[in-house]
Amino acid sequence: MKLIVGLGNPGAKYAANRHNVGFMAVERIAGDHGFSPWRARFQGEIAEGRLGETRVTLLKPATFMNLSGQSVGEAMRYLKLAPQDVIVLHDELDLTPGKVRLKTGGGHAGHNGLRSLHQHIGEGYRRLRIGIGHPGDKDRVAGYVLSDFAKAEQAGLDDLLRGISDGAAALAAGDDARFMNAVAARVAPARNSGTRPDNPGKGSPEKPAAEPANDPIAEPPSLSDRLRALTERFR
* pLDDT tier, 212 (very low <50, low <70, confident <90, very high otherwise): very low
> Contact at 8 Å (CB) between 81 and 122?
no
Q: Which residues carry out catalysis? A: 19
Average pLDDT, the chain: 86
| Phi, psi of 130, rounded to the nearest 5 degrees | -110, 115
- Per-domain boundaries in the chain: 2-187
Supply the pLDDT for residue 94: 93
Supply the pLDDT for residue 215: 34
- Predicted confidence (pLDDT) per residue in 63-113, tens digit: 999 999 999 999 999 999 999 999 999 999 999 999 999 999 888 888 999
- Predicted confidence (pLDDT) per residue in 24-65, tens digit: 999 999 999 999 999 999 999 999 999 999 999 999 999 999
Supply the pLDDT for residue 226: 52
> Contact at 8 Å (CB) between 29 and 165?
yes
CA distances from 97 to 22, 106, 138, 145 (A): 14, 22, 18, 13
For 2-187, CATH gives 3.40.50.1470
Residue 83, classified by CB atoms within 10 Å of its CB into exposed (0-12), middle (13-18) or buried (19+), is middle
